Amino acid sequence: MRCKTLTAAAVLLLMMTAGCSTLERVVYRPDINQGNYLTSTDVAKLRVGMTKQQVAYTLGTPLMSDPFGSSTWYYVFRQQPGHEKVSQQTLTLTFDSSDVLTNIDNKPNLSGNNLNDR
């Protein structure tokens, strides 16, 4: 009888704590990285006046390009480490009609604090 009572108490305790946020931290969650990983040195190589070929050679293929033309390229990197908040880096490059880089928009600014340089 005593064994059944202890087992029932253990099951009840387990069921009550199953939804607690303290147990959530114990469960392993892998780091999820998606998109174009860029370092601050990669972005520093960009200069206004570069051609699309030069940019593609420097950074690789963009994750997205403008669906209504090819004048804007998007390099997006999204990082979700385990139980931490999601961080996202978006680099938007705009080209003119002759495929020359005219604008570099880096949000948020890529630094060692936002995404670790590897």
φ and ψ of 79, to 5 deg? -125, 130
Specify the higher pLDDT residue, 111 or 65: 65
pLDDT band at 94 (very low <50, low <70, confident <90, very high): very high
pTM value > 0.75: no
CATH 3.30.1450 fits 29-107, yes or no: yes
The residue ranges of every structural domain in the chain are 29-107
CB-facing half-sphere around the CA of 79: CA atoms within 13 A: 13
**Averaged pLDDT for residues 63-70:** 79
Whether 118 has a pLDDT exceeding 60, the answer reads no
**Averaged pLDDT for residues 49-53:** 93
pLDDT of residue 113: 42
- pLDDT, tens digit (0-9, with 9 covering 90-100), for 8-49: 887 777 776 665 556 666 777 888 888 888 888 989 999 999
**Averaged pLDDT for residues 58-82:** 86
* Residue 62: cis peptide before it, omega within 30 degrees of 0: no
**Averaged pLDDT for residues 60-82:** 85
Angstrom distance (rounded) from CA 68 to CA 4: 69
Angstrom distance (rounded) from CA 106 to CA 91: 5
